Amino acid sequence: MLKHTFYILLALTFFYLPVALTAEEFPVATDGFSQNYPMVVFDGEDYFTVYLDRRGGDYSFYSRFISPEGVVSQEQLVVPAHPAMSFMPALAMGTENFLYTWSRQRGIFDYNRDGMARILGLNGAPLSGNIQVNDNLAQHSPAFMRTAFDGEHYLVIWQDGLPTQGARILGQFVCATDYNLVGGNFIIRPEVLEQSHAQIYPDILFDGTNYLIVWDDNRSGERSIYGWFFDTDGEPVGDDFVISDLPQRQLLVRVAYNGEHYLAVWADRRHGSKNGVFGQMFDSSGNAVGTDMAISPLQNNEERSWPRVGSNGNQFMVVWEQQNLTKEAAPVARFHDLIRYPAAGVDKEKQTVWYEVHGRIINADGSYHTNEIPVGVNQFHQRDPEVTGQGDQFLVLWQDSRVNNQYSDIYGRFFEAMPPVVLSSPQNLQASFTGEAIMLEWDPPASKEADFMHYNLYKDDELLADEITETAYTDELFEQNTTYSYYVTAYYDAGESDPSNTATVDIPTLYISVQFQVGATAAGSTSVSLVDPLEGAQVWLENYGETDTDNMGFALFEEVGVHQSLQWEVTKDGFFPEEGSVNLTAEDLVIEVVLTQDDTSVPMTGEQGQFSIVPNPADQWIKVISDKKMIRVEVLDMLGQTRIGNDAHSANEMEVNISDLPAGIYFLRAIHDDQTITTDRFVRR
């Protein structure tokens, strides 16, 4: 690929040799014409820069790759020459490509501008033609193009209008796969802003979940710094929030993210009519983390302005332009600044003032890792720095007019950085079900560069247990017919690692309900019906005890273990018992049981002279005669249900009114004073 095609020159050619970290600056593009506005990102292997090139007097854009050792590739044309002004660019990297965007004047004498974009392959070659991102209905010419990638789309934003025209921020999504616009332009502007309020100089990043857009506006009467989160559909996430709103002017904001906190940096006039560089860290809710930082306050009346900020995933590096009033530089023509400065609401610069690039590295906790660092401090002008970081280094690029102040070249310099602390994740999480518990086991992190403290275990994305010191855990809380997912993290003194792999476990059916439905039939009957239930029958199920049927003939056993064979038995006085066995599967079960009336213990009429029922059959009344004193007489139907109960005082004869009984066969039970029981049958006609 082109990105690995390097110049083949003599070994003594300086910038094609590896450059040690924190080594001297090295040239990136030094052709015999001006190169300006270097944009730079890291693609996972090399740094990729795109810059403006003025060869032939036109405006074109070229790219180069820079290895982490400082090896610079050949140039590659990415945007062909255009005769009119092209500037205020931005660069973002996607999954399979880059997006480069810039503001382009329509013609030499047509001062209206459009926001343009172009998709570049990972080898730096163009994949698309020019894509106009602003609607033709846009009110003003786009300025200060910025872009970020969310995993599917690029979001390009820009300032629409001048500070004196109530400038606003517009946005446009661009598909990273088919290079088409997604939807139309949309306005990024809080409702609280009045028409006269101007949003100026926006910046954007994507933090893995949401976009963050920052800008300055004058809603408070002076320019202050604000931020606002947006989702990947371009919808606001909450309200916009204040980053800094001191009474003094604050402007030219840029923002970076280190994976935990955001750092916004800006030019600030709290110490006079010239700018210093200040910053503020904040979290994903827009809450300030610590107080604002005086990164480079105004000193010796030498202004600091146009700050940039990048992160290596741990630290931040801030770079800026800084005046040097101890020397005077020859004037240099920067015609694009005639538009750029008014668009940003910045006073016109003094061309005879020497400009340098300085920087400072800031730790993740907001403390200063370095003092202010001279980055590019050669003869004449060093301007428009850009910075990005990865691993253990930052790379700063800037435009430089050291060669007789005739043309601008692109130079770079590496700076050592503290790489992000690696919070390694646990590995190989496995989950299994024993029938009684869920067993979880995992391997420790491959490396523990930070101070390890304990593990946190999550179940269905909720914290199940923390401060686990072993690589195993037993979960006894589960329900049958449910799937559970788990992951585990390692917790260090520096924070929590990313999750391990996700392990899932399916809990099968473990318990079912077994319901008995018991009915009755008369002895000798050839028909069986469960329509008439049998109440009070005793139902026994092996290992699960005994229970009685209710008035509907039901007896229920709950939480009966599956995959076993059990014996059962159903009994009731006056009925033949029934028994059997059942093989339990993973489905609830209903067992229908019919008990037959036991007539073997019921003496027939006339068999006992001591006990009789007359008349039999009968219509209205029956007389019960016994040679043993009776204290109670009960009439039962064929289902064993008591229909009549009469008490007596040690009588040998009792009359019973049966006129309310339906026709049928009934049992009469006499309870004697010696607690013996005599039974017989009669017929109600």
DSSP string, 292-324: EEEEE--BTTB-EEEEEEEESSS-EEEEEEEEE
How many residues can be counted in the chain?
Answer: 685
Please give the pLDDT value at position 529. Answer: 45
What percentage of the chain has pLDDT greater than the value 90?
69
Average pLDDT, the chain: 89
Please give the pLDDT value at position 544. Answer: 93
Place domain 427-507 in its CATH homologous superfamily: Immunoglobulins (2.60.40.10)
Which is more confidently placed, 41 or 552? 41
User: 641 near 563, Cβ under 8 Å?
Assistant: no
Give strand ranges (E) for 573-610: 578-584, 589-596
What backbone torsions phi and psi does residue 340 show, to the nearest 5 degrees? -65, -45
Please give the pLDDT value at position 634. Answer: 93
User: 318 near 369, Cβ under 8 Å?
Assistant: no
Q: Which range has highest mean pLDDT (188-202, 339-353, 435-449)?
A: 188-202
Please give the pLDDT value at position 598. Answer: 77
The yes-or-no verdict on residue 405 having pLDDT over 60 is: yes
Confidence of residue 12 (pLDDT cuts 50, 70, 90): very low
Among 48, 51, 41, smallest CA distance to 384 is for: 51
CA distance 435 to 511: 11
CA distance 50 to 61: 7
Task: Give the start-to-end residue ranges of the domains of the chain.
Answer: 427-507, 511-596, 611-684
Q: CB atoms < 10 A from the CB of 71, how many?
A: 18
What percentage of the chain has pLDDT greater than the value 70?
91
Give strand ranges (E) for 199-235: 199-206, 211-217, 224-230
Specify the DSSP element, H or E, that contains 565.
Answer: strand 564-571
Give the SS3 label for residue 340.
helix
Confidence of residue 272 (pLDDT cuts 50, 70, 90): confident
Confidence of residue 639 (pLDDT cuts 50, 70, 90): confident
Alpha-carbon torsion 297, 378, 27, 12, what sign?
Answer: negative
* CA distances to 525, 609, 647, 679 from 651, in Å: 36, 17, 10, 16
Specify the DSSP element, H or E, that contains 49.
Answer: strand 47-53
Please give the pLDDT value at position 610. Answer: 79
Q: Which option is the CATH number for 611-684: 2.60.40.1220, 3.50.50.60, 3.30.930.10, 3.40.50.1820?
A: 2.60.40.1220
User: 643 near 677, Cβ under 8 Å?
Assistant: no
For 317, residues 6+ apart whose C-beta sits below 8 A from its C-beta are 309, 310, 311, 359, 360, 361, 362, 387, 389, 394, 396, 415, 417
Cis ω before 27 (30° cut-off from 0): no
Q: Average pLDDT in the 651-677 region? A: 89
Please give the pLDDT value at position 451. Answer: 84
CA distance 281 to 264: 6
CATH topology of domain 511-596: Immunoglobulin-like (2.60.40)
CA distance 207 to 478: 36
Please give the pLDDT value at position 141. Answer: 85
| Residue spans of alpha helices (H) in 486-631 | none
User: 330 near 369, Cβ under 8 Å?
Assistant: no
CA atoms lying within 13 Å on the CB side of residue 530: 11
Confidence of residue 10 (pLDDT cuts 50, 70, 90): very low
Please give the pLDDT value at position 648. Answer: 84
Q: Average pLDDT in the 559-578 region? A: 90
Please give the pLDDT value at position 317. Answer: 98
Amino acid at the residue 343? A
The yes-or-no verdict on residue 329 having pLDDT over 80 is: no
What backbone torsions phi and psi does residue 244 show, to the nearest 5 degrees? -160, 125
The yes-or-no verdict on residue 379 having pLDDT over 60 is: yes
pLDDT in tens, 465-493: 999 999 999 999 998 889 999 999 999 98
For the entire predicted model, the pTM comes to 0.67
User: 665 near 639, Cβ under 8 Å?
Assistant: no
Q: In what order do the strands lie in the sheet with 276-282?
A: 250-257, 262-268, 276-282, 288-296
Which value, to the nearest 10 degrees, does the dihedral of the CA atoms of residues 78, 143, 302, 373 take? Answer: -40
Please give the pLDDT value at position 509. Answer: 84
Please give the pLDDT value at position 18. Answer: 33
What backbone torsions phi and psi does residue 313 show, to the nearest 5 degrees? 90, 0
